[in-house]
């Protein structure tokens, strides 16, 4: 599906301008990428929400119209309100359709209900890293775990990828395994003991 989105330039140095934009139903953002200067932009919330409802994914390419120019872009970050979940800011990266790029692809598990009859589905990683042309990058990859039994496991090398993509994640890295309730409990306790405390703030909201 072809995704299209229109934006407009915005001021970036005036205090309170982004709050005003949000009140008008717009999302403040930034357009950046190779061979262009970073440009503050504003996007209509309803237009962007329509793309999300239409299936916009992590690696979907958007034709972004800004003034009299069209840019091929990907959404690289969405900053949300931690309580309400509202989109506060959006980062758009301009990409070249003829240059390969590195991207993160989410892993979607299929058949968990069946696998859970044989044990507990324990996920180790939820994404892999690949390299390829923008139009060849999938929004996700599916891993079928329905036939796995207690003690079985799947690794990165077992994930089916389009031939045009280069896998960058280590092939022997564990994706998912089927364990007993006792094994999961013991591992959870071990993680509680060894996991370091993280002190600090997340990304601050942009005004």
- φ, ψ for residue 154 (rounded to 5)? -125, 145
Q: Residue 193's pLDDT is what?
A: 57
Which helix (DSSP H) or strand (DSSP E) does residue 184 occupy?
helix 181-194
Please provide the CATH number assigned to the domain covering 3-94. Answer: 2.40.240.10
- pLDDT, averaged across the chain: 89
Q: Residue 128's pLDDT is what?
A: 98
CA distance 164 to 68: 33
Q: What is the pTM for the complete model shown?
A: 0.80
Q: Residue 35's pLDDT is what?
A: 85
Nearest Cα neighbor of 74 from 106, 33, 35 is 33
Query: Looking at the DSSP assignment, which residues form a beta bridge with residue 174?
Result: 155
Query: What is the residue extent of each domain of the chain?
Result: 3-94, 101-194
Express each pLDDT in 124-157 by its tens digit: 999 999 999 999 999 999 999 999 999 999 999 9
Q: Residue 13's pLDDT is what?
A: 61
Q: Which residues does the chain have with pLDDT short of 70?
A: 1, 13-15, 183-207
Q: Residue 77's pLDDT is what?
A: 94
Q: Residue 1's pLDDT is what?
A: 67
Return the CATH fold of 101-194.
RNA Polymerase Alpha Subunit; Chain A, domain 2 (2.170.120)
């Amino acid at each position: 599906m072809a995704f299209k989105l229109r934006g407009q330039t915005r001021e970036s140095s005036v205090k309170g301008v982004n709050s005003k934009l949000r009140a008008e139903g717009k999302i403040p953002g930034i357009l950046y990428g190779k061979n262009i200067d970073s440009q503050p932009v504003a996007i209509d919330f309803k237009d962007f929400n329509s793309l999300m409802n239409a299936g916009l994914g992590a690696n979907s390419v958007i034709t972004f119209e800004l003034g009299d120019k069209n840019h091929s872009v990907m959404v690289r970050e969405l900053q949300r309100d931690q309580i309400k979940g509202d989109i506060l800011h959006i980062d758009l990266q301009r990409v070249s359709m003829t240059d390969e790029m590195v991207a993160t692809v989410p892993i979607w598990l299929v058949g968990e209900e069946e696998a859970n009859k044989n044990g507990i589905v324990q996920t180790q990683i939820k994404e892999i890293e690949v390299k390829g042309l923008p139009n060849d990058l999938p929004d996700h990859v599916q891993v079928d775990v329905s036939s796995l039994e207690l003690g079985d496991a799947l690794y990165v090398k077992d994930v089916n990828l389009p031939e045009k993509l280069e896998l960058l994640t280590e092939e022997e890295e564990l994706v998912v395994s089927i364990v007993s309730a006792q094994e999961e409990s013991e591992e959870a306790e071990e993680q509680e003991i060894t996991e370091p405390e993280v002190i600090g703030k997340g990304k601050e909201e942009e005004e």
